[in-house]
Amino acid sequence: MEKLKEQLDDLVSSLENESELRQRLGDLFSVFPFNEYEYIISTLLGLRKLSLDEYYELRDEYISRNMFLYVFEISAPRGFGETWAQGHLKELVPELVKPSKKRDPDYSGQYDFYLDEKIRIEVKASRAVDFNSREALPVKALSSDSEKEFDMNFQQAKPACCDVFVWVGVWRDAIRYWVLTSDEVANNRYFSKGQHRGNVGEGQLHLKHDNIDEFAKNEVKSNRLLESLRNAYTRQTQE
């Protein structure tokens, strides 16, 4: 959004009636989908300060920078963490199956996926947003090259209830994945136990702008997730 604002502001500054347009923008009342961006772009097109081809280029660049912005519009925590994140992972790794008591007699909702009839997998997802902003999620969503502070909290994690964790981190232009064994999470120095009173064994881990590089060895590409899940299970069972 910042890049788009900058591009449009440069075009507005080149107008002979710049002050008039900025005054109108200051008084503008917006109702979706008619907002300040629609107004500026339509005005620039009308004044021939922006050609149709230039508009298409502007639009394509914006979409490429915000490919996953729609994920930040998912407001319900369960809608994001369960419906979207688990569905997204299932698309990448079709071999994952939803657990049931038929497959695991002890199953009671404590993990998200079953792999190879033995590997219990828990999925945790979070979104990178400007830590110092109080704006709505889509507005404060960060791009992967942003230098602003962020704090992605992977919470309600119970290492004793699964074998492998998959963390899914979402930026407006990228999705990143980390695969860790349950022991690697439980013994990590950033893992905080006792997130909720009375929930024994539950904790959280904050992946932040100043510690994310420490998890580089656990980061995997989307096309290596299946292999990484199996390798993590091997590490877990051999430790």
Nearest to 138 by CA among 84, 72, 75, 74: 72
Q: Which two tokens stand for residue 226?
A: 């299946």
pTM of the predicted structure, to 2 decimals: 0.82
Q: What is the pLDDT of residue 23?
A: 86
Q: What is the pLDDT of residue 13?
A: 84
Q: What is the pLDDT of residue 239?
A: 67
Q: Which two tokens stand for residue 184?
A: 């690697």
- Which domains are seen in the chain, by residue range? 2-65 (no CATH), 69-238 (3.40.1350)
Amino acid identity of residue 100, one-letter, is S
Burial class (CB in 10 A: 0-12, 13-18, 19+), 142: buried
CA 106, 108, 112, 113 dihedral sign is positive
Residue 21 CA to residue 236 CA, distance in Å, equals 62
Q: What is the pLDDT of residue 200?
A: 59
Strand residues in the chain grouped as ranges (E): 113-115, 119-127, 151-157, 164-170, 175-181, 191-193, 203-208, 219-220
Half-sphere exposure of 140 (CA within 13 A, CB side): 15
Instruction: Compute the residue count for the chain.
Output: 239
CA 135, 136, 139, 143 dihedral sign is positive
Residue 79 CA to residue 113 CA, distance in Å, equals 17
Residue 238 CA to residue 181 CA, distance in Å, equals 11
Residue 76 CA to residue 161 CA, distance in Å, equals 24
What is the Cα gyration radius of the chain?
22
| Residue ranges for the chain with pLDDT beneath 50 | 198
Could you tell me whether strands 164-170 and 119-127 are parallel, antiparallel, or unpaired per DSSP bridges? parallel
Q: What is the pLDDT of residue 140?
A: 94
